[in-house]
Structure 1
Amino acid sequence: MAPPKKSALPKPLPDGFILTDTEKKKWRLGRVIGQGGFGLIYLASPHVDRPVAADTDFVIKLEYHDNGPLFSELKFYQRAAKPESMRKWTRSRKLDFLGIPTYWGSGLAEYNNLRYRFMAMDRLGTDLQKFLESNAGRMKKATVLQLGQELVDVLEYIHENEYVHADIKAANLMQGHRDPDQIYLADYGLSYRYCPDGHHKEYKESPKKGHNGTMEYTSLDAHKGVDPSRRGDLQILGFCLLHWLCGSLPWDKVLKYPAHVQEAKTKLMDNLPDSVKQLSVSRESSTDEVAAFLLYVKTLNYQEKPNYQHLKDLLSRAVRGRLDFSRPEGPAAVSSTRGQDPGTREKQNVGRAGRARGAKAPVRDEEQDDGMRSKPVLAQYRRGPPSQKEEVLHEVGRSLRPRRGPVTYVDDSDEEQEEEEDDEEDEARPRAIAACYLRGPPIGPRSQSKQV
């Protein structure tokens, strides 16, 4: 039998199939509850003598053996996220909770002459992107700041264990299956070992690797093709916090053009803190704390260890306790991702480092995108289209004012990459910038991307 194409989802295993992990622990598969990237997510249970209960606390991610994202995620969990290590860290930092899913085991399987790789882990709940879509792309300020502080704790733990996440976003933040107030940073398919054996990677720009990550949030280092680092993770988080507060980002309308996104982000970072403070949608939802957060990140050198407690202090707020995901009051930007299912969003990210995305734990429906929505023709186009330079300056120049423009996610192009089962780190190799980007095409009215 010819090997399956890597771009295809794995053929499902039968209900009740028994898997045995590397520690000889057995797992029984239940129904498929979702999919993402090139993997399937099954309900699972260690009680193999009876059907898997609908309220089980475990899931199993399954991919073809030769695919890459699950391999990368496994390496992260095996090296950096052992349950005992996380418990020890949580106690030493006097934390009530550390939002990293628990890894329970992994192994290989074969069925009908096809080889699979699997990983058992905590079952998680709803991702926070759903709340953004139902709340016009925004969260309440107290919720944003509280999430920011919790994520700084998660990033500090990951960083201390030689890894960076490199793809922080609401779609990768999951509520706990049992406790929705516990938020987990999930999906480590793009995680990167920035400091193997205590030796930090050197700063080196590589245009062929440029613009890796999710275009809205990826760091300026990533735009330049520099390997991910701690400061890059924190800058990504800062852009996320800004988006959650305002409902949009200044570069939303140029997401199809990575070089223009990079230019707009550079402009914002060069003019801190005013460039961020001016994006506040109301006095109650001011962006002062996020401006201070990004300003501190700007001072960090590539290899410098951040002061995580200082970052948490910058986001400090008296509000604690349960997270409030109800709709914030006041003006908001309208997000064009409203109505899209999570599976569509998962495919709509640019620059995947030449490898497939990993599957996510929550349920992923498979409805089609709502389709394209027409926009009125701008007056300047009726007079004849402006030059590219004029239009880019017009678009980026508007970025320092509060905006109500839609948030657009563009199609993800996953590239095939061979993965071998060894101890070598699966490093990212982003794609070269297409020629059309180098010419800097004019920015026209955008349409929503469609699911591939």
Structure 2
Amino acid sequence: MADTQVPAQVAAPSLIPAVVVALPQATVPERDRLPKEGDEIVTDSGKRYKLGPVLGDGGYGTVFLSQDDGVRIAVKTEKFSKSQLKIEILVLKAAMQANCKHFCELIDCGTKSKEFDYMMISLLAKDLHKIRCEMPDRKFTMNTALRVGLETLKACEELHRIGFVSRDIKPGNFAPGVKANRQSRTIFMFDFGLARRYIDKNNNVIPTRKEVGWRGTTRYGSINAHKKLDLGRRDDLESWFYGLVEMTRGTLSWRNVVERQHVQRAKEASRTSGRVQFLFETPSQFDKILTLIDSYSFESAPDYKAIHKLLVEAREERNLRDREHWDWEEETVSTTITTITSFSDKELRAKADQSK
């Protein structure tokens, strides 16, 4: 486009000296400032929470240890403009209302100006990914693996029952409760930053939006996620199954594959020529569970009871009893408390983009 011509009388310099008047600046709250250890959060109700040591952090959020009437809790904070806590709070409120067993208690929540969102939740131990990596051969015993499978399956069922899909099911988003709360026998699901309602106000499944872009974590994402399709309950269960296989075997066929499209091909091969390798040394019931999950469509209501029955059958075949301790409780070293996976800045940016 040609430059605009300015009339000469306008372009001529003024002979009148400019007068600069300093105007008072309004105080603008700092945006996206995360709190630090030692800071205090005062909630809308006037309750005060002193922030203790950092339990987990990333570019957009930090989780702190704190106390609520003498009971240790976690305070999760996220930068205001990047925060996914609103959807997490929505999920936890729905879970509490439905008396779900496998979700943290939401103690308090709110927003600090335009600096950060926060929520106070019950404390959890290390996540299952971290725990598995500390085990001999990086896997659980068959007893613990199957018990974990039953617990995490129930968590998925509860999430779906209250009208949400996770779209990021993985071992790193599950953790046992802490002994101080008498919850160490229960596995909890956490981190709902990518969660989405899949039913409308009339409890009808919201129709698929077809292609929507990538959602989830490459290692555990469903084949539909690789195809960038809308994700439903069956996709959560497919991701859950990959995690179960990994916790049972100690590895996945595509563990060392980096490129997402190559991971997709490995997952597709796990249904055909690579099925034996994928399910090597797992119970025969796993093959049936995979077939069952693959039979579901986007709209299907999964048969959680059938999957549960197959896991119980695998336990009974091996005469496995409900042991008093998990594998990780047999160690003399206590587990470190944490409630969040430490995401890289790149991963956190991706989570923010994918939540739309």
Tell me whether the two structures share a fold, i.e. TM-score over 0.5.
yes
> Could you tell me which of 180, 183, 186 is aligned with 2:187?
183
Partner of 1:442: none
Q: Residue 305 of structure 1: CA displacement?
A: 0.3
For the 8 Å contact 2:160–2:233, the answer to whether it is kept is: yes
Aligned CA distance change for structure 1 residues 42 and 300 (closer, same or farther; 3 Å): same
Higher helix share: 2
Aligned CA distance change for structure 1 residues 251 and 170 (closer, same or farther; 3 Å): same
Q: Distance in 2 between matches of 1:165 and 1:192?
A: 7
In the alignment, does 2:65 pair up with 1:43?
A: yes
For the 8 Å contact 1:201–1:227, the answer to whether it is kept is: no
For the 8 Å contact 1:241–1:290, the answer to whether it is kept is: no
* Residue identity in the other structure for 2:98: S
Structure 1: unaligned runs, 5 residues or longer: 48-52, 88-97, 328-341, 349-355, 357-410, 419-426, 430-452
Q: Residue 115 of structure 1: CA displacement?
A: 2.6
Partner of 1:153: 154
Q: Residue 260 of structure 1: CA displacement?
A: 1.4
Deviations 1:38-57 (A, max 9, x none): 2222233344xxxxx5xx33
Aligned CA distance change for structure 1 residues 124 and 221 (closer, same or farther; 3 Å): same
For the 8 Å contact 1:158–1:164, the answer to whether it is kept is: yes
Partner of 1:67: 82
For the 8 Å contact 2:41–2:50, the answer to whether it is kept is: yes
SS at match of 2:191: coil
For the 8 Å contact 2:31–2:115, the answer to whether it is kept is: no
For the 8 Å contact 1:175–1:181, the answer to whether it is kept is: yes
Aligned CA distance change for structure 1 residues 10 and 250 (closer, same or farther; 3 Å): same
Q: Residue 298 of structure 1: CA displacement?
A: 0.6
Q: Residue 130 of structure 1: CA displacement?
A: 2.4
- The size of the alignment, in residue pairs, is 311
Partner of 2:216: 213
In the alignment, does 2:341 pair up with 1:414?
A: no
Q: Distance in 2 between matches of 1:267 and 1:175?
A: 33
For the 8 Å contact 2:195–2:355, the answer to whether it is kept is: no
> Could you tell me which of 89, 92, 102 is aligned with 1:77?
92
Deviations 1:413-447 (A, max 9, x none): 624959xxxxxxxx734xxxxxxxxxxxxxxxxxx
| TM-score between the two structures when normalised by the length of structure 2 | 0.77
Q: Residue 343 of structure 1: CA displacement?
A: 11
Q: Residue 297 of structure 1: CA displacement?
A: 0.2
Partner of 1:304: 300
Aligned CA distance change for structure 1 residues 344 and 181 (closer, same or farther; 3 Å): closer
For the 8 Å contact 1:171–1:346, the answer to whether it is kept is: no
Identity %: 22
* Residue identity in the other structure for 1:101: C
SS at match of 2:256: helix
Aligned CA distance change for structure 1 residues 155 and 343 (closer, same or farther; 3 Å): closer
> Could you tell me which of 260, 267, 273 is aligned with 1:265?
267
Q: Residue 31 of structure 1: CA displacement?
A: 0.8
Aligned CA distance change for structure 1 residues 288 and 326 (closer, same or farther; 3 Å): farther
Q: Residue 309 of structure 1: CA displacement?
A: 0.6
Partner of 1:20: 43
Structure 2: unaligned runs, 5 residues or longer: 1-26, 330-337
Q: Distance in 2 between matches of 1:251 and 1:344?
A: 25
* Residue identity in the other structure for 1:71: K
| TM-score between the two structures when normalised by the length of structure 1 | 0.62
Partner of 2:168: 167
Q: Residue 234 of structure 1: CA displacement?
A: 0.4
For the 8 Å contact 1:242–1:287, the answer to whether it is kept is: no
Q: Residue 106 of structure 1: CA displacement?
A: 0.9
In the alignment, does 2:155 pair up with 1:134?
A: no
For the 8 Å contact 1:40–1:63, the answer to whether it is kept is: yes
Partner of 2:244: 241
Aligned CA distance change for structure 1 residues 416 and 165 (closer, same or farther; 3 Å): closer
Aligned CA distance change for structure 1 residues 276 and 267 (closer, same or farther; 3 Å): closer
